[in-house]
Structure 1
């Protein structure tokens, strides 16, 4: 998988920590109910195509790879084949996000439309080459293991040949962009299919604002309208406190980077255990400050485990009109979308789930803060 050396050091812990987010084991929208035909007439792009397997972790990590891969496709001037999101099965991109806002950033086509309307003529089975970020002498196994094999199988893709490549992922560096174009000229490689994302984790700071092009689908909007009827203003909070997260945070003391921590820390700052796993006292006092600041009527709680309802009620007992709301929806994207609309948001700096919310809110100039880092008085949240 294409990632930075530092990211590789944390891959095992990352996978462990992301495999347990509670909602994502639920059933998903039946794609047949949501999918429509291609939004526009599809013509072959002579500049070529790029597709990857979003196969590291769950939604928060996958989202960072989507954003970075969009940047790669734009810089090397290829249409990005939007892969499905990966859970226990492939979830079409358009189940959760609208397509046209993404097209405002760069050329894209859904994987389903590409395979149905373009691949039969332009990318037949005998011409399908898979590429692994690997050393030349190592074997490239595009479909070895789960989720790699099931991901490609569900798209109906087998590879006639497999090759290795080693290229950088810093799209702010013109030399790296040139190397990509030289390695994969479109006349010889019309479709570049990658085992992993061609982008770094955590996301490069220069790519964060691409998220403004990720607009929730009508299906997600209907879910929110149906389930979230709380009174505003409201404070949204994200709590990570499941045992897998606790175990991961035990390794987070006094290190330069951990998971999504660059979203709040500079290279000169260090990750602490409190940043990763804030105390109950910090959660209660920070939430209380936010309630006071925005005059909140509701506190919306999204969590993978314990919502701390009793502790928060005790800490807010002098606010008779404040309601604590923990929906625990069947789909985590519902939590994400609601948190993005809060009048103030408090999240976990180390979490890529929080990071998705923070980027969405930054694009809308909404305030955010992080547990054990800053407080609601910092209106920028940055």
Structure 2
């Protein structure tokens, strides 16, 4: 019996080695190192801008991007909403969950996990609190990551700083650079907007969009509109003209257009009146002869107002109000025509996705 037990142990060990080798061959360790970050600023539109900027920085640094989950009231694996594989046409990536399960034990064991924070020179690294508050704490906790130490830096996240990054934080000493926040400014740099083409929808999202298109509009054309009209947005726009800024939140998406005649963001662009919204919507309906309207909003869908104002056009107005905003984004991205808010990063997400497909977009208070 003892002989059989020894033989069994040997076979089990060989099988274990085989499994490990299989897993390691599936995920080869990148000698250039890895980088990841918390998508912890704002809601979906902000997170996607930060993700694209972080993707660009990972390529500049030549480290594999550990693709962070998106954040609602919990971590949402990137692959639930988008295809990981399509990102690889641009740069090396691995899903955060796969990295933690398959590679972290070898590359980044618990005793080696160091967090990185940007801090001014006059601030001690003790202020680099990687997991303090929400969503920072829950974000890292749900990935089962604790940090044994922190690094405070004040380097920029651009091509001019890459040599410094590589010199100070080499991959042999820091195999993983885990940043408290995304390594990119907001709003995102215009030069990286095209990266949206690598964010392909998952089959789950596409299937749900197709179901809604069938149920709401019987697969006929529709105009998608995005309305920002909650109280917080109203306050954010109240004094916007006094700033005389061309770069207020996501406003460069329209003010940078060749057709723009605006020198800075106006209140009409940021918080259009109901009359401005109804007039532009009517113009688009008369121009396109599309009578189906899909409304996405953070507060007031204006269904009654639209139906009354456009009664002669016999419009059909639908508003899903999904719990997950990604559904609204996807529905708007696939609309035949879209009208959005120039200052909103939610709209900018939709516009970039539509630009990939050469679909038309207009903006309240900006377009005619």
DSSP-derived class of the 2:26 partner: coil
The equivalent of 1:166 in structure 2 is 154
DSSP-derived class of the 1:57 partner: coil
TM-score, structure 1 as length reference: 0.84
Quote how far apart the aligned CAs of 1:282 are. 0.8
Picking from 76, 89, 96, the partner of 1:104 is 89
Q: Which has the larger radius of gyration?
A: 2
1:302-317 alignment, distance < 5 Å: 302-317=296-311
DSSP-derived class of the 2:362 partner: strand
Write out per-residue CA displacement over residues 136-194 of structure 1, whole angstroms, 9 at most, x where no aligned residue.
43321111111111111111111111110111123xxx422222222321111110000
1:273 and 2:267 are equivalent in the alignment: yes
1:289 and 2:283 are equivalent in the alignment: yes
The equivalent of 2:17 in structure 1 is none
Unaligned runs of 5+ in 2: 1-22
1:244 and 2:229 are equivalent in the alignment: no
The equivalent of 2:356 in structure 1 is 363
DSSP-derived class of the 1:285 partner: helix
1:329 and 2:319 are equivalent in the alignment: no
Please report the RMSD computed on the Cα atoms of aligned residues, expressed in angstroms. 1.6
The equivalent of 1:196 in structure 2 is 181
1:127 and 2:117 are equivalent in the alignment: no
Quote how far apart the aligned CAs of 1:227 are. 2.3
| CA contact 1:55–1:148 (8 Å) conserved in 2 | yes
Quote how far apart the aligned CAs of 1:258 are. 1.6
The equivalent of 2:338 in structure 1 is 345
- Between the aligned partners of 1:179 and 1:293, the Cα distance in structure 2 is 54
Write out per-residue CA displacement over residues 75-130 of structure 1, whole angstroms, 9 at most, x where no aligned residue.
11000000111121111111110111111111110110000000011111111110
1:1-382 alignment, distance < 5 Å: 41-136=26-121, 137-138=123-124, 139-170=127-158, 174-229=159-214, 230=217, 231-255=219-243, 256=245, 257-266=247-256, 269-320=263-314, 322-375=315-368
Write out per-residue CA displacement over residues 222-256 of structure 1, whole angstroms, 9 at most, x where no aligned residue.
21122232153211100000111111111322421
| CA contact 1:55–1:62 (8 Å) conserved in 2 | yes
- Between the aligned partners of 2:166 and 2:57, the Cα distance in structure 1 is 11
Q: Which of the two has greater helix per residue?
A: 2
- Between the aligned partners of 1:275 and 1:262, the Cα distance in structure 2 is 12
